[in-house]
Chains A and B, each alone.
Chain A
Amino acid sequence: MMTATNTGKPLRIAGLTKTYETRSGETVEALGPVSVDVEAGEFLVIVGPTGCGKSTLLQVLAGFLKPTAGAALVGGQPITGPSVDRSMVFQSYALFPWLSVLENVEFGLARKEIPPRRRRELALHHLRLVGLHDFANKSIDELSGGMKQRVAIARAFAVEPSIMLMDEPFGALDALTRRFLQRELLRIWQEQRRTVVFITHSVIEAIFLADRILVMSSRPGRIKAEWRVDAPRPRDVTSEELRGLEREIYALLDEELAKSFDIELSAGASAGE
């Protein structure tokens, strides 16, 4: 809708699985196999029942975890470890409390060896994008939860990543703040067109934000279904069409959630024998 240049890179996830080994030697199949192709600049939202492996998937994409099988490629290059090129917004903000708001946003820029002058400019620009320009010199604990997450968003976008990974970034916020930040996020994304992989428990949030919604099955998580959402932004999620989509997605999630609870119950039963 805007004449934004596409600054994201495509992400290819091919046959990705992750199996955890617990201390007691048991194995937990957490994920997959999952195969997805995300276009450059696409806003992809993933929903799925709790414990299905969404965070695991994002940690593999961030480079914190090695996949057990399969691969993830960014712009054709396999992911080998964490990189500023794949930025992240965490549910619990993960801001550095010993740094000021501005220093938090500058942190990644300093590691990219951007000269101090330019660093400051970029950081202030991104703080302006999230409306916290006036709070640049405040310390983190002077901010509300919503403001912290805006700083985290500014920090993540400031490093100009090709891919933005967001694991339930608004999960800890109240409904109003959440609504506000969803709009802010969309505005920044529309301006910069980075590739986004966004995880949420909120179906409405998915519908409001996504170019494409993936629904995952219960653990080990696979792609169960996908929807492309073409409605123009800003979207009215109370429209008849989007309400219908919401009902469809919930029907599927309910089914998967029931399964995941069955798994838990039977596992508990066998452990008790």
Chain B
Amino acid sequence: MLLRKAKNDDANSQTCLAGNSLRIPMPHINFLIKRQKLCHFSLHASLEAARKADPAAFEFAILGVMNVPLTSQTIEKIIRIMGGGDRVLTQKTDLLSYAYDASFGLFVPDVVCQVKSVEEVSEIVKLANEEKIPVTPRGHASGLSGGALPVEGGIVIDVSLWNDVLEIDKDDMIAIVSPGVITADIDRAAKKVGLMYPPDPSSSNVSTIAGNLAENSGGPRCLKYGVTKDYVLGLQVVTPEGHIIRTGGRTVKNVTGYDLTKLIVGSEGTLGIITEAILRLIPRPPATLSLMAVFGDIVQAGHAITDVLTSGILPAKIEFMDQSSIRAVENYHPMGLPIDAEAVLFIELDGHPLAIRDEADSVYQLLEKAGALRVQKAETSEEEEEMWKARKLVSPAIARHKPTKISEDATVPRSQIPAFLKRLRDIKHQFDIDLVVFGHAGDGNLHPNILCDQRDREEMEKVEKAVAAIFEAAIDLGGTLSGEHGIGIMKKAFMPMEFDHFSLEMMQRIKEAWDPNGIMNPGKIFPKPNDRLVLRQ
């Protein structure tokens, strides 16, 4: 572990910062680690001098296991900023508990600050910028691309306790929220006054709004309503230099100056820390109605989606399950799903009750015409719930097969769904992997999930190749690496596949302008030479 981590850092940076005064060259540290493995207590002589110069910093260099080390003075300063040590975590078990997210890898921070105010964030970031300590913002760490992983150690800014503001302004149809507010709570609060916050990632009961904003998350409802960025009017942000800025405002229309709001949304915590957001709400549709259609042929199902979407009806959701997911669900919780079918579509219409009843009839006919073996309409809300249950059970059902689930979200233009499904089928056979496909078919955002066992090195090697092939297929078809999960560390190696040199460089220049010292969530999004996806342990 030690050595692997060192390699990782080696690729990312050539020097390791120890406090404000001491720079220990990376090779020395590597050497030190090797020495440590050989002999725990003897230290390399050339580092003795460094130890004398700054003993505390040196100690952290050793104990901090290759992360950027913090001095005890720095920790003391942090505690002072945080008004005591209650929300400052430095114990080993705590640090290890903030070393992961829902993706892969283990990166141990030096300290975790559970912030609750913009002043705290600003002061800590100022300190970090001064002392060149990496800062990684973190919500509830449900991210699937490694955005919240402190890959270079340093400070984790945990915003998940900061959820005191959740204000709904009915007249302006906006919500003002603290960064740690849970996504689903916003929609629940809006519902009370007849409004809706549409973005609904499947993780909405745990994800924080800050995480959603940073990843520009989407969900099933986004087919009709768009993604997180379409609902952000304004933000308060602490820049990597510690300044508190405001972007946007409370109005839907706003063309004053550059649109920094949209720049921050989706920036994965690399351009600053979001400390408050003003969100747009819309009137809540009074009713929903769902249909389910079974297809014997997967490509036919793809065409059916296009037929519905070009008919003048825009459903709120169109979700898709392939044969493997159907079988997994039926196995897990028998509910009469057709296991011989190649695909099932779930469609939800929302709007005025009379209007959607009409629309449902049209959609019913369209699906039948498109070759559906069976179409079913949910007549009651119980039936509707039962229908969607099948879709919800996909995750637990497939989790039974194998412990590790690599959840991809490569996205293609709508028209390419059938072609993409075909490519995925080929990849499954070519690499002989356990591949299950389901997801938000309506917007081309499928979730090919690879089921595997992290401990099986050989299998993981195959999986790494298959993941690359999936990305290649998506980009070939005019799509993108990620529809909603973000790049983080999981996909950065593939960035050059999608962007040419200058397109990437413009992004990098923005990053440098905002974050001259490169302290804000370093190691994310931008590929380093020789970067590649490694899932093996």
State yes or no: do A and B come from one complex: no
Which positions in B face A, CB cutoff 8 Å?
none
Which positions in A face B, CB cutoff 8 Å?
none
